[in-house]
Structure 1
Amino acid sequence: MQQLNRRSFLSASAKATAGLSMLPFLSKTSLWSENMFFNISLAQWSLNKSFRNGTLDPLDFAQIAKKEYGISAIEYVSQLFSDKADDAYIRELKKRADDHGVTSVLIMVDREGNLGTTDEKERAQAVENHHKWVEAAKELGCHSIRVNAAGQGTADEVKDAAIDGLGRLTEFADKHDINVIVENHGGYSSIGTWLVDVMEGVSHPRCGTLPDFGNFRVSQTETYDMYKGVEELMPYAKGVSAKSYNFDKKGNCKEVDFARMMQIVKDAGYTGYVGIEYEGNELGEKEGIIATKKLLEKVGSKMS
């Protein structure tokens, strides 16, 4: 695998495709304001309840993002349409996105096996299971698939296995010009230093991270400092997930200091997409997405 030092990772992570939204109806500020150092995308998970219960059709995701939220970039979630995702379905997803002028950013891939499992046969199968999503991402015009570095065993055992699994998958993805990015998503992956070690072990320009503002629960009894974790993962970031939960009367997220988080993101030199991923329970999905978007715009406009 190609060797890459930490500085090269930082340079590569700052390069991301950009979109343009001409629908400022949700706020007085245009979505791609010159005052914003980042672009906003919408993670499909923010609407997972509506997609799961059939209220919304995954094929309409691009239209929903553009017309209802004024967002021109989307992040798919594989488990919300994996039972339908044949070649024809992926082509139709692409057509719908193109028809509405929406950029497909990435696919969050789950339930395809653990890339960090210490069982070599299972790990090889997990790598192969992800191939179809690399190909789907290529067809859609995404820059990455998001995967998980999960596995059972000691931290060192899972780290070594994850380096191997991610490395093999990244070599395949590289042939398709697709990145493989890992989210802090529970277990060892929610330990910033552990995931950094994995990144440095893979040491490939197409393998990076998707820092998530939440998801720093290591176990039922252990959590990792979210701000420290995001800061550690940002040098390898090819995407950022702005996880939001509940909001106070001033429109700030109660659980996450967005101003502090976005300063960390900016200080890392990142200028790509920041995906809205609402998971609160006090507001409905639509209201939560709008609240998160307004908060990102408010914070971003102050960071010129």
Structure 2
Amino acid sequence: MDRKTFLSRMGYTAIGGAALFSTPFGLTGCTPGTQDAEMFFDISLAQWSLNNSFFNGSLDPINFARIARQQFDIGAVEYVNRFYTDHVTDQGYLNELRNIANGEGVESVLIMCDNEGALGDPDPAARQQAAENHYKWLDMASFLGCHSIRVNAASSGSYEEQMQRAADGLRRLSEHAAGMNLGVIVENHGGLSSNAEWLVGVIEMVDMENCGTLPDFGNFRISQDETYDNYRGTEELMPYAKGVSAKSYAFDDNGNEANLDYMRLMQIVKDAGYTGYVGIEYEGDELSESDGIMATKELLMRVGKELADG
């Protein structure tokens, strides 16, 4: 099935790559759907879904909230720190970023933070420095009205050593964040962090209310030779979740994610009592970024409605 046929079956008009950027924020030909009020969760858009367009300059990161609203009719966003490294302390830029979000009625949910050092570094001084490297992102998150920053629990050493080191670094950062009424949430994001049992142990060792998880449906590859079960992992991480990442890669003829059982995953999310944001994070290459986002949104809305009716 080609892309045009797939999108036709999904109930919206295909937008080619050129058309997406032919007018400001890709408004041409787009008739986005709206979220059903009966769903138990809200939908947000992870900026990484458009990472190629931001990296190649086709899109300007300052317009992310506007793109989310006008292109996809999504009213909440999850920023990626890599697109704001040069502006994180630029108050004028941050003012404009916040004003655009407010003007579009878009909520800033969280900032995904990478490349700031290993919070589980074997060296205590390096762990402390990694924690402090995140402070500027907490400041930005507070200014934008986010509830959390998403961090990584990277470490080295034995299973137990990595747990202790990651918990120590996370506690240092979480203590600082607590004074700002912000959360520090950890994604299963490779290495032992993709072992849900290990990550749960880390969060329990930190033992702070504002330190939790961001379960990602797809990131359960521990190493090249080891993968944790996606469904078991999601179920184990959900009791500590302060966010959920709806990873998607490809879709079948019926609009279902070809690699992940979204009905099963979202049932796990619902059973955990979670009612917050579920962030769209499309990482496929069969559809364009915009079409993959819309396909994921349509799937989430359909599954959400079915679970509400069930």
Structure 1 length-normalised TM: 0.90
Q: Which moved more, 1:244-253 or 1:81-90?
A: 81-90
Partner of 1:177: 181
Q: Which amino acid aligns with 1:98?
A: N
Q: Deviations over 1:130-164 (max 9, x none)?
A: 01111110000000000000011111111101111
What SS class does the counterpart of residue 199 from structure 1 fall into? helix
Partner of 1:97: 101
* C-alpha separation in 1, matches of 2:175 and 2:190: 25
Matched, 1:250 2:227: no
Q: How many residues align?
A: 278
Q: Counterpart in 1 of 2:234?
A: 230
State the AA in 2 paired with 1:26: P
Hey, what does 1:261 align to over in structure 2? Answer: 265
Shift of residue 84, structure 1, vs aligned partner: 2.6
Deviation of 1:80 after TM superposition, in Å, equals 1.8
Is residue 220 of structure 1 aligned with residue 227 of structure 2? no
Letter in 2 for 1:287: D
Which of 253, 262, 281 in structure 1 is aligned with 2:285? 281
Aligned to 1:63: 66
* Highest RCO, 1 vs 2 (Cα 8 Å, sep ≥ 6): 1
1:26 equivalenced with 2:29 (yes/no): no
SS in 2 for 1:218: strand
How many Å apart are 1:25 and its aligned residue? Answer: 4.1
Structure 1 residues 234-274: Cα deviation after superposition (integer angstroms, max 9, x where no partner): 00000000000001111011111100000000000000000
Shift, 1:123, TM fit: 0.6
Map 1:97-176 to 2 at 5 A: 97-176=101-180
Report if aligned partners of 1:244, 1:253 keep a CA contact under 8 Å in 2.
yes
Q: C-alpha separation between the residues in 2 aligned to 1:261 and 1:63?
A: 29
TM-score, reference length from structure 2: 0.88
Counterpart pick for 2:302 among 290, 298, 302: 298
Q: Find out whether 1:54 has 2:57 as its counterpart.
A: yes
User: 2-side partners of 1:185 and 1:110: how far apart?
Assistant: 11
C-alpha deviation, 1:26, in angstroms = 2.3
- The aligned amino acid for 1:86 is T
Q: Counterparts of 1:253 and 1:262 in 2: how far apart (Å)? A: 12
Amino acid paired to 2:32: L
Deviation at 1:85, TM superposition (A): 2.1
Pick the structure with greater CA Rg. Answer: 2
Alignment match, 2:45: 42
> Are the aligned partners of 1:163 and 1:202 in contact in 2 as well (CA < 8 Å)?
yes
Which ranges of structure 2 fall in alignment gaps of 5 or more residues? 1-29
CA contact (8 A) 1:45 1:277 kept: yes
The aligned counterpart of 1:4 is none
Report deviation, 1:275. Answer: 0.1
Do the aligned residues in 1 keep the contact of 2:173 with 2:184 (CA within 8 Å)? yes
Corresponding residue for residue 18 of structure 2 = none
The answer to whether the 8 Å contact 1:117/1:123 transfers is: yes
What is the correspondence of 1:72-91 to structure 2 with a 5 Å cutoff? 72-88=75-91, 89-91=93-95
Distance 2:167 2:108 in 1: 27
| Deviation of 1:83 (Å) | 2.3
Q: Could you tell me which amino acid in structure 1 is paired with residue 213 of structure 2? A: T
Displaced runs of 4 or more, over 3 A:
none
Give the 3-state SS of the residue equivalent to 1:243 in structure 2: strand
Confirm or deny: 8 A CA contact 1:162 1:198 kept in the other structure: yes
Q: Hey, what's the Cα distance between the residues in 1 that align with 2:37 and 2:32?
A: 17
Distance in 1, matches of 2:191 and 2:89, equals 31
The one-letter amino acid of 2:64's match is: F
Q: CA deviation at 1:99?
A: 1.2
Query: How far apart are the structure 2 equivalents of 1:95 and 1:127?
Result: 29
CA contact 1:35–1:302 (8 Å) conserved in 2: no
Aligned amino acid, residue 110 of structure 2 = L
Tell me what 2:25 maps to: none
Q: Secondary structure at the match of 2:307?
A: coil
Distance 2:278 2:306 in 1: 16
Letter in 1 for 2:249: Y
Which letter maps to 1:74? V
Give, in angstroms, the shift of residue 303 of structure 1. 1.1
What displacement does 1:91 show?
Answer: 2.2
Matched to 1:149, the amino acid is A
